[in-house]
Structure 1
Amino acid sequence: MAENCPHVQVKFFTKQPTYSVPDSPFSVPANVGITELSSLINGLLNEEDSEGGVDFDFLIDGEFLRVTLDVYLEQKGVSTEDVLDIEYVERQAAPKPENSLLHDDWVSCLQANTCYILSGCYDNTARLWSSSGDSLMTIPGHTAPVKCVAWMKEDDDTSSFVTGSHDQTLLVWVWQRERNEVDCVCTCRGHAGSVDCVAVNQTQDKFCTGSWDKMLKLWSAGLDRDTDVSDDDGTESASKRKKTAETKVHSRVPMLTLSGHSEGVSAIVWLNSQEVCTASWDHTIRIWDLQEAKQSATLQGSKVFFDVSYSPLSQTLVAASADRHVRLYDPRSKDGAVVKSSFTSHNGWVIGVAWSPTNQYEFISGSHDSIMKLWDTRSPKAPLYNMEGHEDKILAVDWSLPELMMSGGADNHLKIFKYDSKSESMDVS
């Protein structure tokens, strides 16, 4: 580096004790970037007998440094005389392609739980997979494409889940894992359009749905058939009733219906035990109080919203939109400035978003540009990584398990990426 390059005084700190260095100020050339700063930290650590180099990322005022220090100082209007406090963290390794699960048609929805993956397909079926990618079962039942799926309860030998379809119904299923048999407990009837989204509450006793009919509905997630009405309306002959008695599927009606959206409801998520958030083709995100049975807030956008995800860790929402942006919202904000950040990198409609279940800063997004991206809210100008592999548009993403990022696409594939999230991210400030 040129001798006449101006220098900057910096102080380093970290929340990862393994990598702590003395907090005394250092004088560094102003034209250094993250590579040189990483080398400097490694040099300081090597004095303490640390083996090998570690890649670090650097944050100033809570935002990742992505330019050289002199450019950063100029952008922020900071004097080179000031001492810069720089936080450093071990850089996240790139997610690794792990598996690609082939379906017979478009993969429209997916969700993982502890050991299994549930997917919905345009061939009218739902599918069960092991998290390692083994096909366990293909489940017919719907008469049109399956548009949404969600796990419900899990115990020692059974799991239950719900599937929603373009056929305007939802089916509640119980899966006997040991015998690998599924049983349809009931059909949920009440929507007058495609059922495009479903979300199960934290206690797993209710679920909410949104539909192309603009309605939001609340249902019981109970597995007891006694609460349901029979599909038998009394018009069938006695012999036909007898023949179908054993295979009869009971109907379930909603506990609550709420209207307010002026176009189809595209996504739904629980914020807490009594509030849900919906996203819609009417360019709004709405928050509903189910206990009071009313809408409590509206966030206005400029284009169609396709998906929304809520992080209990940061208590913020990310929303995917047709204008190619992902936006970060604080639903608690009372000052009107609800958009806290925008993330722009996709070249097509952003169709899905999902927060990390263990990291308050990270989320993924999937788009019609066929790419899934990993974002950190501390780096709004650029994603951390692009995950490529789909040969057609992405239709859904899921990050229910910390170590698995997944996307479903119009190339009939469900892509799985393995991810090793750093423990530093668990620190919720």
Structure 2
Amino acid sequence: MADLATLPQYQIRLLTKQQQYAVPDYPLSVHASITINELNTLVNELLKESNSRTKQIEFDFLVCSQFLHTTLLEHVTERGLSTEDVINIEYIEKHPPPEPQDCLIHDDWVSAVAVCKKWILTGCYDNTLHIWTIKGKHHLVIPGHTSPVKAVAWVSLGDQTGTFVSASQDQTAIIWDWNITNNSVDCIHICKGHERGLETVGVNYDKTLMATGAWDTMLKIWSTSVQDGNEDGESAPKRLKLDHGKTRTPNRTMKGHKEAISGLVWSDKNEIITSSWDHTLKVWDSEIGGIKHEIQGNKSFFDVDYSLLSRSVITASADKHIRLYDPRSAEGALVKSIFTSHTQWVQTVRWSTEDEHLFISGAYDNTTKLWDTRSPNAPLFDLSGHEDKVLCCNWSNPMLIVSGGADNTVRIFKSKKIDHIS
């Protein structure tokens, strides 16, 4: 190890947006090989002096918008940062580790999960849907599909009723009406039109439309309304008896992908982003029915998600990496960051709905990971528990990180929120 006396000294300035932890921002002289632990000691000492805070707080440190994981010397050398000037180091309270909660046991692989308020909706390879409370109590099993359920989404949820949609390899999506008071479910509409199994479903922000993607390479748009304007004149009981719910046809079908559509997300009122096995992401205008933009990848994409907070896209891929894209970028590289830690195919990704920097991923290496976009080479936490491939994940409820897998379970982790800016 280098002798500290022979190492250069750097001038640093410690800054934070969390005002409760602010220390004087005058420049300090530190040795170049200072580490996170030593910086933590330094900030806590300064806090003790400036506001008599005695409790030790753990911080992460940002230099050049990326978390410090090595010595300061290695970090600034790697980024070609000038050491002639004062180096600004931003510190934020370390994210607390998510705490394992319940394990929801199913009879088959769990390939779809969606959380809304206090309810968890799951879809399985045994063709069934399930509703659970976020406390882990099984509420309802829903048969209806004839092949594995690959995707689920909530349309609306009140105190007495809820509406949700399921997409299956049986080539249909079903819109369901749930009477919460009676705990009974009706199949309202069977959406028919795809010629091969469905892989993904997404509902737009005002809950009026949904999109489905399938192995037939088609993207289809449907109405989510429980009533249908195109009544065929038959009485409701007779119609339900005839077709176990009314058949609904798509509002629009959009062609463009060459292989299966693996994931989709609405990025605004009319815009949809899709991922595909054909190595591309496509941005669609659902109103005019055309492709606005295409992003070429180098492997099959398995999932995609969009953050309203950062306006960025993350993707799951067959090359074990997660990529972050700026879909609006007109120049330079579209890939802004590559996140590397999974050792097998990454199957699923979801952004935090409350923090523009945080997202989760699930992979065939049996792990779910919690990431911060400012730390591409190391996740914040590995959320272990699954004993087989992770197939789906969800973070719609900011308090709960939920994942489903080929071990027939859903794992729930409690995510503690920290106030980054007070």
Normalised by the shorter chain, which TM-score bucket? over 0.9
Counterpart position of 1:237: none
Alpha-carbon separation, structure 1, partners of 2:248 and 2:8? 72
- Read off the aligned partner of 1:399 and give its amino acid letter: W
What is the CA–CA distance in structure 1 between the aligned matches of 2:239 and 2:152, rounded to whole Å? 31
Tell me the secondary structure at the aligned position of residue 76 of structure 2: helix
Report the CA distance between 1:79 and its aligned residue.
4.7
1:71 aligned onto 2:74: yes
Structure 2 partner of 1:128? 131
Alignment match, 2:44: 42
Mapping 1:199-348, distance limit 5 Å: 199-225=202-228, 227=230, 229=232, 245=241, 248-335=244-331, 337-348=333-344
- What letter matches 2:346 in structure 1? V
Residue 389 of structure 1: how far off its partner (Å): 0.9
Aligned pair in 2 of structure 1 residues 423, 160: CA closer, same or farther (>3 Å)?
A: same
Is the Cα–Cα contact under 8 Å of residues 372 and 379 in structure 2 kept in the other structure? yes
Deviation at 1:249, TM superposition (A): 1.5
User: SS of the residue aligned with 1:35?
Assistant: helix
Report the Cα offset of residue 292 of structure 1. Answer: 1.5
Query: Quick one: which of 176, 183, 188 aligns to 1:185?
Result: 188
CA deviations 1:255-289 (Å, max 9, x no partner) are 00000100011101001001000000101000001
1:155 aligned to which of 138, 155, 158: 158
- Number of residues paired by the alignment? 418
- State TM-score, norm by structure 2: 0.95
Q: Which residue of 2 aligns with 1:357?
A: 353
Structure 1, unaligned stretches of length 5 or more?
A: 233-240
How far is the alpha carbon of 1:383 from its aligned partner?
Answer: 0.9
Partner of 1:420: 416
TM-score by length of 1: 0.94
- Secondary structure at the residue paired with 1:366? strand
SS at structure 2 position matched to 1:37: helix
Q: Tell me what 1:59 maps to.
A: 62
Mapped partners of 1:178, 1:217: distance in 2: 33
Aligned Cα root-mean-square deviation (Å) = 1.9
Q: Name structure 2 gaps, 5 residues minimum.
A: none
Q: Deviations over 1:95-152 (max 9, x none)?
A: 1111110000000010101110000000100000111111000000001111110000
Separation of aligned partners in 1, 2:192 and 2:239: 23
Question: Structure 2: how far apart are the matches of 1:67 and 1:243?
Answer: 66
Q: 1:244 to 1:261 in 2, by over 3 A?
A: closer
2:26 partner letter: S
Pairing partner for 1:27 from 29, 38, 53: 29
Amino acid at match of 1:333: S
What's 1:117 paired with?
Answer: 120
Is the 2:152–2:166 Cα contact (8 Å) retained in structure 1? yes
Q: Which amino acid aligns with 1:276?
A: I
Q: Which residue of 1 aligns with 2:88?
A: 85
Q: 1:34 to 1:224 in 2, by over 3 A?
A: same
Q: Distance in 1 between matches of 2:141 and 2:381?
A: 33
